[in-house]
Structure 1
Amino acid sequence: MRKYSKSIAIVLVILMFATAIIGCSSKSNKDAASSSPTAGASESPSASASASASTETESNTYPENGLPKDQEVTLKFGFWEAGAGREGIDFAMKSFSDKFPNVKFDTTYSPDIFKLVDTKIAAGDDNDMFDIFTAGGAANLNQLVDEKKLEPQEDLWDRDAYDAPGKKLKEVTIDGLYTGAQRYNKVSYNLPDSGWTGGLYYDKAFFEKNGWNQDPKTWDEFIALLDTIKAAGVIPITYPGVYSVYLEFGFGPKNFEIAEGNGNLDAFYKNYKSFGTPWYTAPETKEKWNRIYEMGKKGYFPDGVAAINHTQSQMQVMQHKAAMVVTGSWVQNEMKDATPEGFVWGYMGVPAKNADQTTWLRNGVQGGINIWAAKPDLNKKWAKEFALWLMNLDVQKAAVALSGSIPVRKDFGDDPARLDALQDAPKAVTAYTSQHKVRFENQTQDVTLTDPAWAQSDKTLADAIPAITNGKKDPGPVLEAAEKLLETALAKQKK
């Protein structure tokens, strides 16, 4: 069990679990200059040449990593420009090139970078492929690993952090990041450099004006709040039905919370993490979706939600057409150009219990890079150095201030100025978690399924979510259909 937080500093330490990954560059050996053992004798030509060669070698390599200073390298970078924007990664690239001026970046920014990555992979042209791309930016990372298309980064965990000599990366990152990192065959293939927390985000000023409860502590209080909001002619909760899995950012781990309330957490947790069946039709998961269905029948979600995208749903809250939006802690940064004067981001988790119990919150890590294996060795070594560089405190601070992310360095909170860099939305998260008993869950599994039936089962539920939240589709048959597809994937996995 993860302990609930009691201060902002602790929150920063426990805010995420992990999906991480890392790799390392080798350190060069330096030749020791030899001198004549005879006192007063001059160096022989060969000894002088050796000393000169050693000095030249040292001067032409960086002491931090042993890589050459005089070889120009350009890393082609495919960056996913989404809610966090590009300012944080731009700071990281500029500071890296300032430190290592022989390394440049040729960056492609796109909200559809994952599709572009898959297109390049399908084309099979390693020269045209990105050297590095935002982690997760491929349809089937497990297959790429099996085909040795991605560069391992596991060894970076044992490298010293650039700004903390003598301390390994796994020692300076938040508790659980290293041990809980998502790996393939016990190897990491990307390094997550920031985190996020999902839930319900809203305008504090709007809530205060209407006298609405900003801190419902039980399911009954939560439903009472939604009734009050709906009675005022405002949509209680919106979310992007175009990307329906966003709903899970607010309601995803509620089945864990229900299981804990029923005294069945250990068995449910083990079953969930290992794809034990029943999975979709586990009683706790069915109850979660039945509650959402009942909310839909009461009109707590927008009509026509299936056509609403993420920015439109967030604009509904900014325009006070909706009271709360299901999204992640990056929301303030994503909507910074549209935020009206006087708008202050607030945050609440969904309490799925009616007792003094833990509230489960969806969280995760983001950022980091995958490295294409079929690239020159020097490019791959510099790519690993950049992966390590993203963990520097100044880079983390820039990501917090410019991208709205949550840091993954455990010493980030040692400096109050760094804490002040947090945007209002992440600050609202830390305030909530410091005042409540919470547990974070990333909803990942310990088992990897590769059969297409697994993806089909996931899509079956995702496609039905808008109709469920509009009260038009009973989730029971949907969950049963998804369960059958999962069973097919599990059976094929065993063969």
Structure 2
Amino acid sequence: MKKLCKGVSLLLAGALLMASLAACQKKPAGETTAQEQTTKGTEAVQTTQGNTKDSGEESAFAGQTLEVAAFAGAYGTDFWDSVCAKFEDEYDVKVELTCSPQLGDIIRPSVVSGDPPDFIAFAQEQDIITTMIKEDALLDLSDVVGEFEDTLLDGILDYCQPYKDGRILYTPSWYYSWGTWYNKGLFEEKNWELPKTFDEMLALGEKAKQEGMALFVYPGVYPGYNQGVLFAALASAGGADLLNAIANYEEGVWEKPEVKEVLDFYQKMVDNGYILDGSVALTHTQAQTEFVQGKAVFCVSGSWIETEMADAAPEGFRYGFLPTPTAQAGQQQYANIGFETFEIPAAAKNPELAKEFLKFLYRQDNLLMNAEKTQACMAIKGGADMVKEYMTESNYENLKMLDSELMPCFVNWTLTEKTEITIMDELFNSINSLVNKEMDVDGWIARMEEDDAVLREAVAK
């Protein structure tokens, strides 16, 4: 196997911020175990081995070459080295593997010149992939995903259709969640109940204030971390239809009563002094440090928080994940997720072999290899159980909730031509303005409606 691998650095998977969106089905109680679900979901994929040397017949792809380009971040390169070598052996092919933390810079010249790699493993929000999406330069994978769709988290392929026209332009790989974290020991010590509604959350804020603590801290330098609360709460308030309306810049969507009720929750936290003073100036690590030092009851972050705070948290600190409270009692609770992706360029020299490699990655034995070597969770049914022994307890508990009580959500913003507006910045910088008392909820709503009017005119045709 020919391999180009440059300067691998351990980057946090959570640093890959994802655009977010709406809802999947939760697993009904009493169904098969997570491992059984994964095994059943991959049965169809196992049949692809009929093209390999193991079947006793010559591979239909024997002697061909596949160019693979993979991002080398938090998950390292061991998995890619191993799975590519295995693919070479089983299919009697040659794999030319390029993996680097600077993957975008490395592959950009070949992409621009019309000679891209055959297969790319790079998150869809990265500049080079975003450009390929806007230029319609990715292959439609609809004809191949049927062979492993049952393996994936229910509904996640809905969010792999950036043009929302039924074409699947990428498939999900590793995933994680955003949300609200708490100290289990604190809740046991104070005999506090976890809040399930906004009213219960605000009532807890008063108890926290009496203990000299803030209710909530967030990184104002990176206010987008609040997507873990805001998008999940909006999904609870209006389901997939509401998140889709938001993602499509629908006129009047921010003026809906159910949306205002969610935004008002932030206003009430501000008015009651429940947000830690100085939050707007904190980075993510600073906000998380304030949290583990007991300055705030809750902190918004991603499922990597325990690993990231390993050196800062007091000994014995036990992280818990709080399902985002809802505006009204009884509403379905959601968790906002992000995921990385696999792509095949439309100009790939060997698209059929690339499709075979894509199916190969979702095969049961290779999913198990992935779990062992990356210690990260793939966006598959039972993924949390598959990787349980390799991940932190809090991360496992968090992702396990997505197999049971919580429904994942993700806002899939409709593509637009280039404008002066960055919608995620507009949305979440407004929280800082709210906290600084430079804006109220009505101003927040007005800003979003004005931005949406511009973006509706710029929707990519």
TM range (shorter): 0.7 to 0.9
Structure 1's 198 and 399: CA in aligned 2 closer, same or farther, altered over 3 A? farther
Give 1:277 deviation, angstroms. 1.6
Q: Does residue 208 of structure 1 match 2:183?
A: no
Q: Does residue 75 of structure 1 match 2:48?
A: no
SS in 2 for 1:135: coil
The residue that corresponds to 1:279 in the other structure is: 253
The residue that corresponds to 2:220 in the other structure is: 241
Distance in 1 (CA, whole Å) between partners of 2:252 and 2:198 is 25
The residue that corresponds to 1:426 in the other structure is: 395
Q: Is the 8 A contact 2:224 2:425 kept in 1?
A: no
Q: Is the 8 A contact 2:118 2:354 kept in 1?
A: no
SS in 1 for 2:379: coil
Q: Is the 8 A contact 1:190 1:368 kept in 2?
A: yes
Instruction: After TM superposition, list the pairs within 5 Å mapping 1:69-468 onto structure 2.
Output: 69=63, 75-79=68-72, 81=73, 85-87=74-76, 90-100=78-88, 102-109=94-101, 116=105, 120=108, 124=112, 132-139=120-127, 144-145=132-133, 147-158=135-146, 168-178=147-157, 181-184=160-163, 185-213=165-193, 215-259=194-238, 268=242, 271-272=245-246, 274-336=248-310, 340-355=314-329, 357-374=330-347, 377-378=349-350, 383-397=354-368, 405-410=376-381, 421=390, 423-429=392-398, 438-444=406-412, 448-453=414-419, 455-468=421-434
Give 1:97 deviation, angstroms. 1.8
Distance in 1 (CA, whole Å) between partners of 2:30 and 2:78 is 27
The residue that corresponds to 2:441 in the other structure is: 475
Q: Is the 8 A contact 1:290 1:475 kept in 2?
A: yes
Give 1:208 deviation, angstroms. 2.4
Amino acid at match of 1:364: I
SS in 1 for 2:179: strand
Q: Is the 8 A contact 2:213 2:297 kept in 1?
A: yes
Q: Is the 8 A contact 1:368 1:387 kept in 2?
A: no
- Identical aligned pairs, as a percentage? 21
The one of 488, 491, 494 aligned to 2:454: 488
- 219-228 vs 144-153, which deviates more? 144-153
Q: Is the 8 A contact 2:26 2:404 kept in 1?
A: no
- What do the CA deviations read for 1:241-284 (whole angstroms, capped 9, x no partner)? 2221210112223234345xxxxx69756744653320233332
Distance in 2 (CA, whole Å) between partners of 1:8 and 1:421 is 26
Give 1:189 deviation, angstroms. 2.0
**Larger-gyration structure (1/2):** 1
- What do the CA deviations read for 1:190-227 (whole angstroms, capped 9, x no partner)? 110233333211232233234333x2233222112222
Give 1:349 deviation, angstroms. 1.8
Distance in 2 (CA, whole Å) between partners of 1:121 and 1:441 is 35
Structure 1's 266 and 73: CA in aligned 2 closer, same or farther, altered over 3 A? closer
Amino acid at match of 1:182: Q
Distance in 2 (CA, whole Å) between partners of 1:156 and 1:494 is 26
Q: Is the 8 A contact 1:235 1:302 kept in 2?
A: yes
SS in 2 for 1:242: coil
Q: TM-score, normalised by structure 1?
A: 0.70
The residue that corresponds to 1:40 in the other structure is: none
Q: Is the 8 A contact 1:249 1:327 kept in 2?
A: yes
The residue that corresponds to 1:49 in the other structure is: none
Give 1:183 deviation, angstroms. 4.6
Structure 1's 418 and 294: CA in aligned 2 closer, same or farther, altered over 3 A? closer
Structure 1's 268 and 154: CA in aligned 2 closer, same or farther, altered over 3 A? closer
Give 1:347 deviation, angstroms. 1.0
- 191-200 vs 427-436, which deviates more? 427-436
Aligned-residue Cα RMSD (Å) equals 4.3
The unaligned stretches of length 5 or more in structure 1 are 16-23, 31-57, 159-167, 260-264
Structure 1's 315 and 62: CA in aligned 2 closer, same or farther, altered over 3 A? farther
Give 1:237 deviation, angstroms. 1.8
Amino acid at match of 1:106: T
SS in 2 for 1:280: helix
Q: Is the 8 A contact 1:362 1:443 kept in 2?
A: no
Amino acid at match of 1:443: V
The unaligned stretches of length 5 or more in structure 2 are 1-22, 38-44
Q: Is the 8 A contact 1:192 1:366 kept in 2?
A: yes
Q: Is the 8 A contact 1:135 1:369 kept in 2?
A: yes
SS in 2 for 1:152: coil
The residue that corresponds to 1:51 in the other structure is: none
- What do the CA deviations read for 1:93-148 (whole angstroms, capped 9, x no partner)? 423324426425331126xx66x48x936994566989624121434856524534
Give 1:363 deviation, angstroms. 2.8
Amino acid at match of 2:218: Y
Q: Is the 8 A contact 1:192 1:365 kept in 2?
A: no
Give 1:367 deviation, angstroms. 2.1
Structure 1's 432 and 358: CA in aligned 2 closer, same or farther, altered over 3 A? farther
Q: TM-score, normalised by structure 2?
A: 0.74
Distance in 2 (CA, whole Å) between partners of 1:330 and 1:107 is 23
The residue that corresponds to 2:41 in the other structure is: none
- What do the CA deviations read for 1:304-351 (whole angstroms, capped 9, x no partner)? 333323233233333333332212323334445655532222111232
SS in 2 for 1:192: strand
SS in 1 for 2:222: helix
Structure 1's 395 and 129: CA in aligned 2 closer, same or farther, altered over 3 A? closer
Distance in 2 (CA, whole Å) between partners of 1:311 and 1:407 is 25
Structure 1's 193 and 284: CA in aligned 2 closer, same or farther, altered over 3 A? same
SS in 1 for 2:177: strand
SS in 2 for 1:253: helix
Structure 1's 354 and 373: CA in aligned 2 closer, same or farther, altered over 3 A? closer
